[in-house]
Amino acid sequence: MNTPKDAPIDLRLRRATADDRPAIIELCRQSLGWKAGDPNEAFFEWKHDHNPFGPSPTWVAEDDNGTLVGLRTFLRWRFRRPDGTTINAVRAVDTATHPDWQGRGIFSRLTLGALDDLRDDGVDCVFNTPNDKSRPGYLKMGWHEVGKVPVSVRLTGLRSIPKLAGARTAAAMWSDESSVGLPADEVLADRDGVEALLTRIGNGSRISTDRTPEFLHWRYRFAALRYRAVSLGRGVEDGLVVFRVRRRGTATEATICEVLVPKGTSTRTAWKALKGSGVDYLLKGSATQGRLHLADARQGFVPVPALGPILTWRPVAHPMVPTLDQLALGLGDIELF
């Protein structure tokens, strides 16, 4: 790792090793507000060790006593173009700075210092959806603002309207219980069925996450997130909707993470089941930006630009920065996890 010129002389910035894990977990406890009883350590392991795209490249900063005071982790990701070729990406996710070292530029130094190593690793780009507080810092480091990812909402009743007004805030990290459908990890464990479904769906006309049976089973299997799946036919190959239920401000939301549907398959079964589940509204990625799309309208969804996160992108080994129209992103691709 190349240490930035302005790094403090009493800090060492380097790539993390397996031996650093206990200190990394302790640093996260000290700086990220991990609550006792929450499965944060298991969550960290699931994300960064078991991802089928590969383990997460991680960098740390340590003081002259060898104590870790900074952390920067990137989650491996892969996109697929319509022609079947792939883009090796990472998501800028977990970052932590010890409380005694905050405000000294460790976050930016670790992030910028990692880019050369990521390029050497064959990473084409970094993407993420930073909040309003952290986005200016990313833009200052060379990230590009792609735009607000379009989302659409379907209310479950008139009583949900005032609830939606109080939902303009970050959603809860952990999910609520739901009895709709089946646990997603059980459904997605049917590798042959998922493979058949993905073959029926095809690549599409835009850049999308490279969904494989292994990726989908990993992505939706962490128990504490309580992902559920509703089948749209007799078997997995007929279509699935993957979702989770969580609180967002004053509302209870069904976050639609995946709509895996072969052409001509209706999703009405899923929306009807979720409408009667006690949630206030359904939120899913929209087909278009800031305007009503016919297919969404037929399903009762309307665009709500205020709820969409802002996507940012940093070229690394490949100079491309896509437009939103070139991307097909679902909430499962961009939700914070």
Same domain, 207 and 301: yes
Residue where the block lists tokens 């459904």: 187
6 located within any domain:
no
Closest CA to 123 of 311, 315, 312, 313: 315
Q: What is the pLDDT of residues 49-77, one digit of tens each?
A: 999 999 999 999 999 999 999 999 999 99
210 vs 86, 191, 213, 270, 315, CA distance in Å?
A: 7, 15, 10, 24, 19
Q: What is the pLDDT of residues 279-301, one digit of tens each?
A: 999 999 986 655 556 677 788 89
Residue 212's H or E segment, with its range, is none
Both structure tokens of 25: 């977990």
How far is residue 226's CA from residue 211's CA, in Å, rounded to a whole number? 20
224 located within any domain:
yes
Same domain, 294 and 156: yes
- The residue out of 147, 168, 187 marking a domain boundary is 147
pTM: 0.93
Output the pLDDT for position 5: 46
Q: At what angle do helices 21-32 and 40-49 cross, to 10 degrees?
A: 130
Same domain, 55 and 74: yes
Both structure tokens of 190: 């049917």
324 located within any domain:
no
Same domain, 61 and 83: yes
Residue 229 maps to which CATH number? 3.40.630
Output the pLDDT for position 3: 45
Same domain, 132 and 19: yes
Closest CA to 164 of 57, 48, 249, 54: 249
Same domain, 133 and 173: no
Output the pLDDT for position 305: 80
Chunked in runs of 10, what are the mean pLDDT values of the chain (337 residues)? 52 96 97 92 97 98 96 98 97 96 94 97 97 96 96 90 82 94 98 98 95 98 97 96 95 96 93 92 79 71 87 97 95 90
Same domain, 199 and 301: yes
- The residue out of 104, 119, 147 marking a domain boundary is 147
Same domain, 195 and 226: yes
CB 227 within 8 A of CB 185: yes
Both structure tokens of 325: 């129209």
Residue 42 maps to which CATH number? 3.40.630.30
Domain hosting residue 213, numbered range: 150-305
- Amino acid found at 316: V
Output the pLDDT for position 307: 81
Same domain, 157 and 137: no
Output the pLDDT for position 288: 61
Instruction: Please tell me the total count of domains within the chain.
Output: 2
